[in-house]
């Protein structure tokens, strides 16, 4: 694996791979890699002969209340994991390389950015889409792989690529879970042992909703009640939202169907976690 920090180096390495006739796949990340990120690399590898990963903690996507400086980082550990998993090119730019001056243009997300995550993280999705657009322009991959855990991000990225005619196929890979079904996240590292136990209520609530759906329940309020019953057992877990949304638009639904997404965001101690499950999948 080659590690580079400059945009020009990425362009040269990708250009050389393309000249050898290789398809290019891209996995954008903010680092502190876990098995979830590495399964995105596996997915990328299945689809292309040359896999590029970026690690960049993007200041633009941190809301004013969020702490960029304390975001977990592990440069050397990440490089070792990426290399062991077969990444060909690791792009680790610093903020000066990505944003040498104040940005004069940015991507404005569609109205969906005001719901769910966007409601509690103002400016977040404009920052995400702007950096993703820039990274896609730098790498120019045939395919880019995102995780289902960040379903709203994946939905907005798909919309952006579609609306702006960016010639990259977007693949969304399933959420990777710990053996006890907690969704993998770099933020799990902030949880104490006790909080980690309480955090399981998020995924259990979603699985309870899915079980009810699988038993034939379709009314959103009844499915949400099944999820809330689980969450009521962990009153210290503070829910931002528990919702059922259309799998394509992420608009709330009153009646669930196969493909409807059950979504949750909640605070466990000082850590805010999200998770979702596609019903009937
Ligand atoms: O999902 C992430 O890690 C980030 O939001 C992304 C897509 C790498 C953009 O900074």
Sorting pLDDT into bands at 50, 70 and 90, what band is 212? very high
Task: Name the residue among 146, 123, 135 with its Cα closest to residue 59.
Answer: 123
Bridging pattern class, strands 24-29 and 143-147: parallel
Residue with the nearest Cα to atom 9 of ligand 1? 128
Residue 225 CA, ligand 1 centroid: distance in Å: 32
pLDDT of residue 63: 87
Centroid of ligand 1 to alpha carbon of 56 (angstroms)? 8
What share of the chain in percent tops pLDDT 90?
98
Q: Using CA positions, which residue lies closest to atom 1 of ligand 1?
A: 29
pLDDT at position 165 is 98
State residue 113's pLDDT score: 87
Q: Which domains does the chain have, with CATH numbers?
A: 2-173 (3.40.50.620), 186-275 (3.30.1300.10)
197-202: average pLDDT: 98
Going from the Cα of 170 to the center of ligand 1, the distance in angstroms, rounded, reads 14
Q: Which of 275, 271, 278 is nearest to 66 (CA)?
A: 271
Average per-residue pLDDT for the chain: 97
Q: What is the pLDDT of residue 127?
A: 98
Contacts of residue 3, Cβ cutoff 8 Å, sequence gap at least 6:
79, 89, 90, 92
Q: What is the pLDDT of residue 207?
A: 98
What residue's CA is closest to ligand 1, atom 3? 29
Encode pLDDT of 27-69 as tens digits: 999 999 999 999 999 999 999 999 999 999 999 999 888 889 9
Give the model confidence (pLDDT) of 122-163 as tens digits. 999 999 999 999 999 999 999 999 999 999 999 999 999 999
With a cut of 90, say whether residue 2 has pLDDT above it: yes
- State the closest ligand 1 atom to the C-alpha of 58, by its place in the atom list counted from 1: 10
Q: 230-255: per-residue pLDDT in tens?
A: 999 999 999 999 999 999 999 999 99
């Amino acid at each position: 694996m080659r590690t580079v920090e400059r945009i020009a180096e990425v362009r040269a390495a990708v250009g050389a791979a393309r000249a050898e006739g290789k398809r290019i796949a891209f996995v954008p990340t903010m680092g502190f890699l876990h098995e979830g990120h590495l399964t995105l690399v596996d997915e990328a590898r299945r689809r292309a002969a040359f896999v590029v990963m970026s690690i960049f903690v993007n200041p633009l996507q941190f809301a004013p209340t969020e702490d960029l400086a304390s975001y977990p980082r592990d440069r050397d550990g990440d490089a070792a994991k990426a290399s062991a998993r077969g990444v060909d090119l690791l792009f680790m730019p610093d903020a000066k390389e990505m944003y040498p001056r104040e940005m004069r243009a940015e991507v404005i997300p569609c109205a969906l950015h005001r719901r769910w995550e966007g409601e509690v993280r103002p400016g977040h999705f404009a920052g995400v889409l702007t950096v993703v657009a820039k990274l896609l322009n730098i790498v120019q991959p045939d395919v880019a792989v995102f995780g289902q855990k960040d379903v709203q991000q994946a939905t907005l990225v798909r919309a952006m690529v579609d609306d702006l005619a960016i010639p990259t196929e977007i693949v969304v890979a399933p959420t990777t879970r710990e053996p006890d079904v907690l969704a993998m996240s770099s933020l799990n590292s902030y949880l104490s042992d006790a909080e980690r136990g309480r955090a399981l209520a998020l995924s259990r609530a979603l699985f309870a909703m899915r079980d009810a759906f699988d038993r034939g329940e379709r009314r959103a309020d009844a499915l949400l009640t099944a999820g809330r019953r689980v969450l009521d057992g962990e009153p210290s877990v503070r829910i931002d939202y528990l919702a059922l949304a259309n799998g394509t638009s992420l608009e709330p639904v009153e009646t669930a169907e196969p493909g409807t997404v059950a979504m949750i965001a909640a605070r466990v101690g000082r850590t805010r976690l999200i998770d979702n499950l596609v019903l009937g999948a």
